[in-house]
Amino acid sequence: MRLVVGNKQKELTNEELNKIISTYSSVVVDIGTGDGRFVYKNGLINCNVLYIGVDPSEKQLRVYSKKALRRKVNNVLFIVGSMEQMPIIANNSVDKIYITLPWGTLLESIVKPKKDFVLKIFNLLKKDGKLITTFGYTPELEPSESKRLNLPPMEEELVIKTIIPSFESYGFTLDDYKKLSKKDLRDTETTWAKRLRFGKDRKIYCVSFWKKL
């Protein structure tokens, strides 16, 4: 797998990745991390936690990987990958998984959950691990992508009757769900969330699940 270190990339084997993971008592994975702001900001604050950011865009990952290298933030990893091509992280090794304001096929996987996708996340988490996902879209503002992915209307009914039951059917236990305002995004340490705070209103939900099995 490709690890982004500053402006460069480095090959990392599955064994090397899981050896690093095993040295930390707490591991957080941010899927679709974009430029890695979330990973970097949290890594600065919680130096005893390993933060892994996964995104298909190496160019994006360089943005905060360079900052991490310059500041010598050693508890962060920026890995090129996606849900379709996830790095081989050992099952039952992750404490929290974040999927924050996903787009493209990652958003589709949240809104129209499929067994393979949900179980892949479920298996990565430790017992009592947690999935926190924040998502939203507006067909009026993103018509081409909504049409391409055949996304249903973003309504609370979709969250309650489709998304939550789908995740629960594959073993997850609902922790909480809530509708967010633009103001609520101020504490979400992602670049896209910062931008949305100043954009037009859209329906955004945060749903969190526990792995209790």
Q: Where are the domains of the chain?
A: 2-211
Specify the pLDDT at position 136.
84
CA-to-CA distance for 108 and 35, rounded, in angstroms? 21
Could you tell me whether strands 49-55 and 76-80 are parallel, antiparallel, or unpaired per DSSP bridges? parallel
Specify the pLDDT at position 20.
95
The architecture of the domain spanning 2-211 is 3-Layer(aba) Sandwich (3.40)
Specify the pLDDT at position 169.
96
CA-to-CA distance for 80 and 1, rounded, in angstroms? 7
CB-based contact 181:111 (threshold 8 Å): no
- Residue 79 bridge partners (DSSP): 3, 54
Where b means 16+ CB within 10 Å and e means fewer, 114-123 reads eeebbebbbe
pLDDT in tens, the chain (213 residues): 899 999 999 999 999 999 999 999 999 999 999 999 999 999 999 999 999 999 999 999 999 999 999 999 999 999 999 877 777 899 999 999 999 989 888 999 999 998 999 999 999 999 999 999 999 887 666 667 778 888 888 889 999 999 999 999 999 999 999 998 767 666 666 655 555 555 666 788 999 999 987
